[in-house]
Structure 1
Amino acid sequence: MTLIQALQDSRALIILRGEFGDQLEGIVQILLEEGFPVIEVAMNSPHAQEQIARLATAFKGHAIIGAGTVLSIEEAQCALEAGARFLVSPHVEETLLTFCREAGIPAIPGAFTPTEIWRAWQGGAAMVKIFPAMPSGPEYIHHLRGPFPTLPLFPTGGITIENATAFLRAGAIAVGIGSALVNPNLITREGLNKFRARCRTLFRSLHEL
Structure 2
Amino acid sequence: MNLVESLRTHRLLAVVRGKDAAAALSTVRTLAEEGIAAVEVSLTTTDALTVIRRARAELGPDALLGAGTVRSAADAARALDAGASYLVTPALVDGLEPYGVPVLMGALTPSEVEAALARGAAAIKLFPGSFGGPGYLKALRDPFPEVHFVPVGGVDAPAARAYLDRGALAVGVGSPLVGDAADGGDLSQLRVRAAEFRKITAGGTV
TM-score, normalized by length of structure 1?
A: 0.91
**Structure 1 unmatched runs, 5+:** none
Match of 2:4 in 1: 4
The alignment status of 1:117 with 2:113, answered yes or no, reads yes
CA contact (8 A) 1:10 1:35 kept: no
Q: Give me the whole-angstrom Cα distance separating, in 1, the residues matched to 2:45 and 2:189.
A: 23
Q: Structure 2 vs 1, CA of residues 188 and 162 (structure 1 numbering), >3 Å: closer, same or farther?
A: farther
Q: How many residue pairs were aligned?
A: 204
Q: 1:141 to 1:118 in 2, by over 3 A?
A: same
Matches within 5 A, 1:35-50: 35-50=35-50
Question: How much does 1:165 deviate?
Answer: 1.0
Which residue pairs with 2:191 in the alignment? 196
Say if 2:151 is the partner of 1:169: no
Which secondary structure does the structure 1 equivalent of 2:85 belong to? coil
Q: 1:61, CA displacement in angstroms?
A: 3.9
SS at the partner of 1:124?
A: coil
Deviation at 1:183, TM superposition (A): 2.4
SS in 2 for 1:49: helix
1:195, distance to aligned residue in structure 2 (A): 1.3
Q: Distance in 1 between matches of 2:171 and 2:117?
A: 18
Distance 1:10 1:20 in 2: 28
The runs of at least 4 consecutive aligned structure 1 residues that moved more than 2 Å come to: 19-30, 32-35, 183-189
Q: State the distance in 1 between where 2:69 and 2:181 align.
A: 21
Distance in 2, matches of 1:199 and 1:42, equals 18
Amino acid of the residue matched to residue 144 of structure 1?
L
Q: Which amino acid aligns with 2:199?
A: R
1:188 Cα deviation after fit: 3.8
Rounded to whole Å, the distance in 2 between the matches of 1:85 and 1:165 is: 27
Structure number with higher relative contact order (C-alpha < 8 Å, ≥ 6 residues apart): 2
**In structure 2, do the counterparts of structure 1 residues 21 and 45 end up closer, same or farther at CA, with 3 Å as the change threshold?**
closer
Give unmatched runs, 5+ long, in structure 2: none
**1:193 corresponds to which letter in structure 2?**
S
Contact 2:25 2:51 in 1 (8 A): no
TM-score by length of 2: 0.92
Query: How well do the aligned residues superpose, as a CA RMSD in angstroms?
Result: 1.8
Cα distance, 1:11–1:74 mapped onto 2, change above 3 Å: same
